[in-house]
Amino acid sequence: MKASYLTAAVGAIVMLGMSLFNASQAQTPNHVYEYRKYYAMPGKLEDLKKRFRDHTIEIFNRHHMKSVGYWIPQDNKENAIVYILEHPSKEEGLKNWAALQADPEWKQVAAASEANGKLVDHVDRVFMDPADFSAIK
């Protein structure tokens, strides 16, 4: 009788461990984050922010590019804006960027916003996976 209780207890522990393992696997991120830092041309940061505020974010949404947040560095000696996007995968992110670049509305918005000169000098870009201890997964 003792052996059957022990067997049942061990079985219950194994089942609990497997369900916890499966639950943790279900929480595995099914997306990646893309960090982007735009270095605005001198005197163009406000124009760049206006383009994001008035047009870019809406176009991102249509192309399944989820905005996580936008930041302006406090000292901003680099004349920059930083933002993070969420994508289902790096491949989907690259595909969505290609679709955005081909979007006629985006082409029109970009051309109109740069009628008085280029807004962005250069961009830093990194695709990132959340660390297992990250609050954002």
Rg of the chain in Å (alpha carbons): 23
Q: Are strands 120-128 and 32-40 parallel, antiparallel or unpaired?
A: antiparallel
**In this structure, are residues 48 and 137 in contact, taking their beta carbons and an 8 Å threshold?**
no
Tokens 């000292």 correspond to 75
User: What is the Cα–Cα distance from 85 to 93, expressed in whole angstroms?
Assistant: 9
* pLDDT tens profile 43-77: 999 999 999 999 999 999 999 999 999 999 999 99
User: What is the Cα–Cα distance from 130 to 136, expressed in whole angstroms?
Assistant: 7
* pLDDT tens profile 8-41: 444 444 454 444 444 444 444 579 999 999 999 9
User: What is the Cα–Cα distance from 36 to 80, expressed in whole angstroms?
Assistant: 10
Q: Tell me, what's the pLDDT at 29?
A: 56
pTM of the model: 0.77
**DSSP-based three-state secondary structure for 90:** helix
User: What is the Cα–Cα distance from 66 to 73, expressed in whole angstroms?
Assistant: 21
